[in-house]
């Protein structure tokens, strides 16, 4: 045996004799207390969270999102699938070896469990640093200088009427399928470029809104429909992933919603509002329609709860094209309304509450307050208390069954989980 081989054997023996609790990878567990400390600081001080969101997060989020945007597929989706399979294979392999090696069982057990423990520590840190802190930042209304306050049902009606008439106008001349339903006349990647362009048109007015990334169509989009997920921001690859299997009408708005998360705005209601602003900021007719339709759905759903008579007046304003798009959208999500989707919604709701969105999924309704504030700022307070018409046009009944009627006009739960 050569001296070199003897040395190697000695080294191997020394390694196996070392305590399994001294694995080099254990230093990575320090990311867990770091995540807790960062989350604590952000939770205690919105000023710190805002400073982090404005000065630290963009330093790495922008270049990394630009880098991952070069990939023609969603890297996050691949990571999720490949990573899950690899971890499963590792655990099965490790368990088999653990059972076979009785002499070193303790060491093998520590080594086996160390991998998921280290992964969990890293994931926790990335989750906190890449979106958790952004949940705690200043409200977008504060950054944008918008005054959010309680509003009358009449003012809400005026907003609904304005959005509906605008949606009707923008719907004219849009491409349609054989059933007369809106068709996005662009491939998903082409639409993603448009989304990025629209979004960055907001930057001069709102400097904190800027993205170097772009939306990514999810390859297994239909699977996400079963989970009731229309989009998902991946904080590990800084990708704004979008379910492109859903009906076309709201896909542009969803793309801009996910870009809002990428740019550091994690609250769902704010991301919805920013999506509306972004869609309207560009000069793409499909995006303008999608964003307006998106806002109209949220506003009229809020009006439905606030004043049923005014809601019927607003509902009567909708054009046939808009009605067909809404009906197709609702029919689509009803097809995927499975027990799996319900569980997914509950998980998402719990996630939102854990991140300081107290109302969970219901917090999406606050988007309407931002729409009202933006309208007041745009028109001036004196013009905002617009009354509905004194002699309303005959209202079309919502649907046949009262309370259930609202569902026919609801947006799909904009439930994104974050991986």
Residues near Zn ion (CB under 5 A) are: 268, 271, 416
Minimal distance, residue 242 CB to Zn ion, in Å:
11
152 three-class SS: coil
* Three-state DSSP state, 75: helix
In the complex with Zn ion, the residue whose CB is nearer, 246 or 271, is 271
Question: CA nearest 369: which of 193, 151, 191, 189?
Answer: 151
CB of 271 to Zn ion, least distance (A): 5
Which one, 271 or 303, has the nearer CB to Zn ion? 271
Distance CA 77, CA 63 (A): 20
Q: How far is CA 146 from the centre of its chain?
A: 22
Provide, rounded to whole angstroms, the least separation between the CB of residue 50 and Zn ion: 19
Six-digit token string for 223: 């699977």
Of all residues in the shown chain, the one whose CB is closest to Zn ion is 416
Beta strand pairing call for 215-217 and 239-242: parallel
Shorter beta-carbon distance to Zn ion: residue 349 or 416? 416
Phi-psi region of 226 (alpha: psi -120 to 50; beta: other; left: phi over 0): alpha
- Whether residue 370 contacts residue 269, with contact meaning beta carbons closer than 8 Å, is answered with yes
Rounded to the nearest 5°, which phi and psi values hold at 232? -155, 125
Q: How far is the CB of 233 from Zn ion (least distance, A)?
A: 7
Between 233 and 336, whose beta carbon lies closer to Zn ion? 233
Q: Give the nearer residue to Zn ion in terms of CB position, either 271 or 341.
A: 271
In the bound complex, what is the minimum distance in angstroms from residue 257's beta carbon to Zn ion?
5
Name which of 292 and 357 has its Cβ closer to Zn ion: 357
Q: How near is the Cβ of 285 to Zn ion at its closest, in Å?
A: 24
Identify which of 355, 385, 367, 381 has the alpha carbon closest to the alpha carbon of residue 131. 355
């Amino acid at each position: 045996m050569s001296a070199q081989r003897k040395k190697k054997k000695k080294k191997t023996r020394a390694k196996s004799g070392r305590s399994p609790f001294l694995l080099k990878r254990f230093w990575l567990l320090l990311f867990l207390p770091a995540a807790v400390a960062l989350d604590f600081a952000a939770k205690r001080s919105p000023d710190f969270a805002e400073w982090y969101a404005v000065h630290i997060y963009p330093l790495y989020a922008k270049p990394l999102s630009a880098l991952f945007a070069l990939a023609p597929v969603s890297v996050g989706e691949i990571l999720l699938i490949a990573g899950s399979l690899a971890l499963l294979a590792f655990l099965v392999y490790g368990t088999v070896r653990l059972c076979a090696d009785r002499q070193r069982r303790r060491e093998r057990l520590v080594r086996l469990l160390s991998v998921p423990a280290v992964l969990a520590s890293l994931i926790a840190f990335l989750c906190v640093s890449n979106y958790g802190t952004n949940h705690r930042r200043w409200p977008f209304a504060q950054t944008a200088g918008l005054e959010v306050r309680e509003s009358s049902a009449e003012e809400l009606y005026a907003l609904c009427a304005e959005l509906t008439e605008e949606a009707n106008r923008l719907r004219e001349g849009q491409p349609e399928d054989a059933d007369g339903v809106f068709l996005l006349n662009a491939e998903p990647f082409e639409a993603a470029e448009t989304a990025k362009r629209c979004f960055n048109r907001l930057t001069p007015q709102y400097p904190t809104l800027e993205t170097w990334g772009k939306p990514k169509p999810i390859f297994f989009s239909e699977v996400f429909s079963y989970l009731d997920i229309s989009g998902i921001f991946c904080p590990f690859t800084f990708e704004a992933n979008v379910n492109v299997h859903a009906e076309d009408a709201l896909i542009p708005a969803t793309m801009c919603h996910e870009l809002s998360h990428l740019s550091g705005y994690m609250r769902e209601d704010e991301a919805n509002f920013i999506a509306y602003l972004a869609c309207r900021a560009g000069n793409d007719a499909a995006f303008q329609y999608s964003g307006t339709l998106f806002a109209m759905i949220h506003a009229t759903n809020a009006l439905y709860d606030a004043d049923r008579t005014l809601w019927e007046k607003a509902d009567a304003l909708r054009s046939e094209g808009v009605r067909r798009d809404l009906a197709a959208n609702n029919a689509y999500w009803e097809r995927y309304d499975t027990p799996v989707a319900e569980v997914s919604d509950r998980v998402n709701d719990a996630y939102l509450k854990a991140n300081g969105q107290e109302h969970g999924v219901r917090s999406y309704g606050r988007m309407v307050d931002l729409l009202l504030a933006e309208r007041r700022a745009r028109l001036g307070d004196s013009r905002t208390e617009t009354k509905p018409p004194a002699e309303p046009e005959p209202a079309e009944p919502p649907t046949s069954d009262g309370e259930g009627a609202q569902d026919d006009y609801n947006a799909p739960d904009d439930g994104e989980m974050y991986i």
